[in-house]
Structure 1
Amino acid sequence: MPRAGLTRGAVTDVAIDVVDAGGASGFDRLTLAAVAGSAGVAVPSLYKHVSSLDDLRRLVATVSISELTRVIAGATIGRSGAEALREAADAVRAWAHEHPGRYAATQVSPDRSDPADAELAERAAETIAVLSGALRGFDLAESKTVDAIRMLRSAIHGFVMLELSGGFGLPDDLDQSFRLLIDGVIAAIARL
């Protein structure tokens, strides 16, 4: 990337490429030096566009959460209840395999008291809204929706992270195990 083309958005794009190249640990290992090296500039040049590594990580997380929300929305549009949750789970898993570094970035929780996290918080709220829509078919009390989302998210995340890190050593079919896990979560949500 030529130096003249460097913008906040371009720096974010380079950081996303660096994160993706790093696999499941790419987000954790993101550095300004790696981004500068990929952009073909010195680290101080980045400070014209991002204020810190935390700022850059926030930008990567915001873009990643937005992308994942679009993936979930696309998978669940016109669906609700069990069908929507199965489609959402499959879509998240597939996206995590395609973009493990970005997937890791989606696990950043915004600090709602920090103005710098306002956009990240907005994008996270959009994800929750999409998942809440998918849960409408369960007729949950509003107070149980967050519990249901946390259950689903925890199940998907645990499975995906074990899968990405090679934590499943047995030769049995992982797709079947994932389906059974999600069916179990759906049954538990139905009981809420």
Structure 2
Amino acid sequence: MVRVGLTTDRLVRAGAELADEVGFDQVTVSALARHFDVKVASLYSHVRNSHDLKTRIALLALAELADRGATALAGRAGKDALAAFADVYRDYAREHPGRYAAAQLRLDPKTAAASAGVRHAELARAVLRGYDLAEPDQTHAVRLLGSVFHGYVSLEMGGGFSHSAPDTQETWTRVVDALDALLRNWPAP
């Protein structure tokens, strides 16, 4: 019998918190059952399996990131919007490392098309409206932003910059400055 108070939403949120504590790769239905002190079978009326749980955590993380991005971009343009958008990703990864890892989960095409991941591309394109980029360069720029943000955040979180000067915040600011300069002076094909 399902314990009163357990809902899919509550399980997914607890799974997201667990991912932040122990790492996304350690989140399983069994780990969640231990967290709630229930039998694994009692969770199967809410999630099909560990992959389903992880997919739901990924969707939660993508939605949280998109909501933060939309809030950060409101009323901003150009470099100000670019910096705000970049900071959303970096700050979220620092605050929620497990959820950030979840947001990188490869989703099946149908789930991806219905997810907040689509909003991320729309938000990146909103940032790029402050720069004069037509297609296909705009798509190239969206991919560049995602690659730079994710690459920097992953290296920083993995300790890749911890033993050298200058400070990582200084580097992050310079990276955003460099992206702004590149976007304002996008190379011709």
Could you list the runs of 4 or more consecutive aligned residues of structure 1 that deviate by over 3 angstroms after TM superposition? none
Q: Unmatched 5+ residue regions in structure 1?
A: none
Contact 1:7 / 1:49 at 8 angstroms: preserved in 2?
yes
> What is the Cα deviation at residue 187 of structure 1?
2.2
In structure 2, the residue matched to 1:46 is 43
- Equivalent position to 2:74, from 77, 84, 93: 77
Confirm or deny that 1:111 pairs with 2:105.
no
Q: Which residue of 60, 73, 82 maps to 1:63?
A: 60
Q: Distance in 2 between matches of 1:142 and 1:40?
A: 53
Size of the alignment, in residue pairs?
184
Offset from partner CA, 1:84-135 (integer Å, 9 cap, x none): 11111112211211111111111123321xx4x25x6431111111221111
Q: How far apart are residue 178 of structure 1 and its match? A: 0.7
Instruction: Choose which of 131, 139, 148 in structure 1 pairs with 2:132.
Output: 139
Counterpart residue number, 2:116: 123
Q: Deviations over 1:47-70 (max 9, x none)?
A: 111111111111000010000011
Give the match for residue 189 of structure 1.
183
Which structure shows the higher helix fraction? Answer: 1
Shift of 1:158: 1.2
Unaligned runs of 5+ in 2: none
Supply the AA of the counterpart residue of 2:82.
Answer: L
Q: Where does residue 164 of structure 2 map in the other structure?
A: 170
Q: Does 1:87 align with 2:80?
A: no
How far the C-alpha of 1:177 sits from its partner, in A, is 0.5
State the identity as a percent: 37
What TM-score comes out, normalization by structure 2 length? 0.90
**RMSD over equivalenced CA pairs, Å:** 1.7
Matched residue of 1:94: which SS? helix
Partners of 1:121 and 1:75 in 2: how far apart?
A: 23
Match of 2:4 in 1: 4
Distance of aligned partners of 1:121 and 1:145 in 2 relative to their CA distance in 1, 3 Å threshold: farther
TM-score, normalisation: structure 1 = 0.89
**Which amino acid letter does the alignment assign opposite residue 135 of structure 2?**
E
Amino acid at match of 1:51: R
Deviates more, 1:142-151 or 1:68-77: 142-151
Q: Distance in 2 between the 1:27 and 1:145 partners?
A: 32
Taking the aligned partners of 2:27 and 2:183, their CA distance within structure 1 comes to: 36
Give per-residue Cα distances to partners, 1:5-41, cap 9 Å, x unaligned. Answer: 111111111111111112xxx1122111111111221
